[in-house]
């Protein structure tokens, strides 16, 4: 059992490595954790049980074992491995957010990287662009419908934000790769048998890699936090309901807790991002410079765990947002034909002589309905659709010749339209919650990640009835293993990331997307 604390990583990681050395020598004062028997044993007993002979150290061997950066380099290696995974997930999540916010792939056009060719920006822009391929949600914008021409910063500048992070992580990777394949004890003996006294034990290279990694973790977290909040907030989500509720907005606030949760996580990442530079003299002033590499590595590992929680929350939110988009598109696809027929019938009753302007009324009102859905996301459906129907009076009067308008017919159309749309919405919602699937509308990256969360992990689209506390009778009868909660589903995704279950999905996604890009060149 190795203590977490106690190393300043100056003359190497003397204290923690000394415990490992003690185990190798079978010291009866060093405890060893034995998972199989559920208790600690001493090193001599552990080696005897394993049939391993303890070693006897000769000249310089003890110093060679303890006087090096093995502990901090090993910690940094594990941390960097996980950070690479999170950096890759952040690019996939950005693509999912672009789709959830009905963003444009234009921000990732190769031209931006051609005129500003930072390697990290080139890579992240390319990745996000290929992840968006095939999406029905991420479309080019022309601003003609009165919407904003440009996307929000959190997605529009994502490649420029992620790019420098990737470059820092690449340099950190190079530093740790060199460190893990280096001799770091002291003194060293060269090929001629000379003893050379130097300072390869000073682990500043490891500290440098960990400081960059921790800053990268904070930067990724800050971006994902903003993206996630903009999906949850109806003022910035382009038509998603408040708190990503599938139920009526006044009766549910499922993702409000996620909003608060990610705020706390991002604040903690900001605290952890501070530099580990509180260097003090040690060993009566002999170790007057110390790198604190293991301390930096430990706090970076904490940052990885916090960012993993944030990524899990974001992924859960993104899948929910994509389902809500798909549910609305399914609703629109389902009512379009009947909607046009109702409008045409109303126009024909108004005037036998249909003008060119009148012919455009069905398309005009259809666009008005879509705009109304975006503007009324905070309303309960029972009030929402009658409200949208009532606002159609003005476009109807604008399109029909004034001398031919029959107010009774127009009012009858409006009075019937609202309840019909409401009933159709509720029917569609219930059907989607049972067997809905957003996959056909998603880009290559989102589709694979969505499928893994929904099918492999079994995390459903969330609504109130899916997180109701089971009755005591149901729990007692064993009908449910665990009461479902938003936190429980977030933890499920978190554990999957932590165990590396997403890595094969990421690798397969990258290989498929980049192969398609090569074929198109």
pLDDT of 126 over the 60 cut: yes
Q: Predicted confidence band at 350 (pLDDT cuts at 50, 70, 90)?
A: low
Q: Give the contacts of 182 (CB within 8 A, at least 6 positions apart).
A: 200
pLDDT of 326 over the 90 cut: yes
pLDDT of 403 over the 60 cut: no
- How far is Cα 481 from Cα 475, in angstroms, rounded to an integer? 7
Tokens of 359: 């012919």
pLDDT at 143: 61
pLDDT at 274: 92
- How far is Cα 377 from Cα 237, in angstroms, rounded to an integer? 10
Q: What is the mean pLDDT of the chain?
A: 90
Clarify whether residues 385 and 511 are in a common domain: no
Question: What CATH number is associated with residue 204?
Answer: 1.20.200.10
pLDDT of 361 over the 60 cut: yes
9 lies in some domain: no
Clarify whether residues 54 and 68 are in a common domain: no
Cα 414–Cα 417–Cα 419 angle in degrees, nearest 5: 115
1 lies in some domain: no
Clarify whether residues 271 and 402 are in a common domain: no
Give the max Cα distance, the chain: 109
State what percent of residues in the chain have pLDDT above 70: 92
User: What does pTM read for this prediction?
Assistant: 0.91
339: phi > 0 → left, psi -120 to 50 → alpha, else beta; which?
A: alpha
Q: What is the pLDDT of residues 488-517, one digit of tens each?
A: 999 999 999 999 999 999 999 988 877 877
Contact 217, 303 (CB under 8 A): yes
pLDDT of 475 over the 70 cut: no
- Phi and psi of 172, rounded to 5°? -60, -40
Clarify whether residues 364 and 423 are in a common domain: yes
Clarify whether residues 335 and 293 are in a common domain: no
Tokens of 22: 């003690």
Give the residue, 372 or 291, on which the prediction is more confident.
Answer: 372
- How far is Cα 30 from Cα 22, in angstroms, rounded to an integer? 6
Please report where in the chains the tokens 């929904």 appear, as a residue.
Answer: 454
- Phi and psi of 140, rounded to 5°? -65, 145
- How far is Cα 146 from Cα 137, in angstroms, rounded to an integer? 18
Clarify whether residues 256 and 311 are in a common domain: yes
429 lies in some domain: yes
Tokens of 255: 């993702």
Mean pLDDT along residues 170-178: 97
288 lies in some domain: yes
pLDDT at 224: 98
pLDDT of 404 over the 60 cut: no
Clarify whether residues 77 and 39 are in a common domain: no
Contact 107, 151 (CB under 8 A): yes
Clarify whether residues 160 and 77 are in a common domain: yes
pLDDT at 446: 95
Domain boundary among 261, 292, 319: 319
5 lies in some domain: no
pLDDT at 282: 76
Q: What is the pLDDT of residues 259-270, one digit of tens each?
A: 999 999 999 999
- How far is Cα 462 from Cα 488, in angstroms, rounded to an integer? 12
Contact 297, 210 (CB under 8 A): yes
pLDDT of 474 over the 70 cut: no
pLDDT of 98 over the 80 cut: yes
Strands annotated E in 165-253: 188-189, 195-196
- How far is Cα 501 from Cα 368, in angstroms, rounded to an integer? 44
Clarify whether residues 53 and 70 are in a common domain: no
pLDDT of 487 over the 70 cut: yes
pLDDT of 345 over the 90 cut: no
Clarify whether residues 381 and 514 are in a common domain: no
Count of other CB atoms within 10 angstroms of residue 330 = 19
Question: What CATH number is associated with residue 373?
Answer: 1.10.274.20
Distances (CA, A) of 273 to 86, 121, 169, 384: 16, 22, 15, 45
Taken in order 21, 25, 27, 32, the sign of the CA dihedral is positive
- How far is Cα 208 from Cα 172, in angstroms, rounded to an integer? 7
69: cis peptide before it, omega within 30°? no
Q: Give the contacts of 499 (CB within 8 A, at least 6 positions apart).
A: none
Q: Give the contacts of 453 (CB within 8 A, at least 6 positions apart).
A: 315, 316, 319, 459, 493
293 lies in some domain: yes
Would you call 81 exposed, middle or buried from its count of C-beta atoms within 10 A (0-12, 13-18, 19+)? middle
Domain boundary among 418, 435, 452: 435
Domain boundary among 277, 302, 319: 319
Clarify whether residues 478 and 337 are in a common domain: no
Element (H, E) at 42: strand 39-42
Clarify whether residues 44 and 142 are in a common domain: no
State what percent of residues in the chain have pLDDT above 90: 66
Structurally, how many domains does the chain consist of?
Answer: 4
pLDDT at 39: 77
pLDDT of 145 over the 80 cut: no
309 lies in some domain: yes
112 lies in some domain: yes
Element (H, E) at 14: helix 14-24
Range of the domain at 511: 444-520
pLDDT at 396: 85
Contact 82, 26 (CB under 8 A): no
């Amino acid at each position: 059992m190795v203590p977490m604390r106690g190393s300043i990583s100056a003359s190497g990681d003397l204290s923690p490595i000394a415990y490992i050395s003690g185990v190798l020598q079978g010291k009866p004062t060093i405890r060893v954790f034995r998972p199989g028997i559920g208790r600690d044993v001493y090193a001599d007993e552990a080696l005897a049980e394993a049939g391993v002979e303890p070693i006897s150290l000769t000249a310089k061997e003890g110093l060679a074992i303890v006087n090096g950066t093995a502990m901090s380099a090993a910690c940094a290696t594990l941390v960097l491995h996980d950070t690479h995974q999170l950096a890759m997930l952040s690019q996939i999540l950005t693509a999912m957010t672009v789709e959830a916010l009905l963003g444009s792939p234009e921000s990732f056009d190769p031209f931006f990287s051609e005129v500003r060719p930072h390697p990290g920006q080139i890579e992240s822009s390319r990745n996000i662009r290929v992840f968006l391929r095939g999406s029905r949600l991420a479309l080019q914008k022309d601003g003609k419908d009165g919407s904003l021409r440009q996307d929000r910063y959190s997605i529009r500048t994502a490649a420029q934000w992620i790019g420098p992070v990737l470059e820092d992580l690449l340099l950190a990777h190079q530093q740790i790769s060199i460190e893990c394949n280096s001799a770091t004890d002291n003194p060293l003996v060269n090929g001629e048998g000379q003893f050379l006294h130097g300072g390869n034990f000073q682990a500043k290279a490891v500290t440098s890699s960990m400081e960059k990694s921790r800053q990268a973790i904070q930067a990724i977290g800050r971006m994902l936090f903003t993206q996630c909040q903009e999906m949850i907030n109806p003022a910035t989500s382009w038509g998603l309901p408040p708190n990503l509720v599938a139920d009526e907005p006044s009766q549910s606030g499922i993702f409000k807790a996620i909003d608060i949760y990610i705020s706390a996580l991002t604040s903690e990442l900001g605290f952890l991002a501070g530099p580990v530079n509180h260097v003090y003299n040690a060993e009566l002033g002999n170790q007057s410079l110390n790198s604190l590499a293991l301390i930096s590595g430990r706090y970076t590992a904490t940052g990885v765990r916090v960012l993993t929680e944030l990524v899990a929350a974001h992924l859960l939110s993104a899948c929910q947002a994509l389902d809500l988009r798909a549910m609305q598109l399914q609703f629109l696809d389902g009512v379009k034909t009947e909607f046009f027929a109702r409008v045409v019938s109303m126009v024909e009753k108004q005037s036998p002589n249909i003008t060119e302007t009148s012919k455009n009324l069905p398309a005009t009102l259809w666009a008005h309905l879509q705009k109304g859905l975006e503007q009324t996301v905070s309303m309960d459906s029972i009030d929402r659709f009658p409200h949208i129907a009532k606002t159609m009076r003005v476009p109807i009067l604008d399109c029909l010749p004034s001398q031919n308008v029959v107010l009774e017919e127009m009012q009858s159309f409006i009075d019937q339209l609202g309840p019909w749309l409401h009933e159709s919405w509720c029917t569609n919602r219930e059907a989607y919650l049972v067997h809905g699937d957003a996959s056909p509308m998603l880009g290559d990256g989102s589709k694979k990640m969505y499928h893994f969360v929904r099918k492999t992990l079994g995390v459903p689209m969330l609504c109130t009835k899916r997180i109701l506390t089971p009755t005591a009778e149901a729990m007692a009868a064993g009908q449910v293993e665990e009461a479902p909660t938003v936190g429980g589903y977030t933890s499920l995704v978190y554990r999957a990331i932590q165990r590396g279950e997403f890595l094969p999905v990421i690798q397969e996604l990258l290989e498929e997307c980049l192969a398609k890009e090569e074929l198109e060149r």
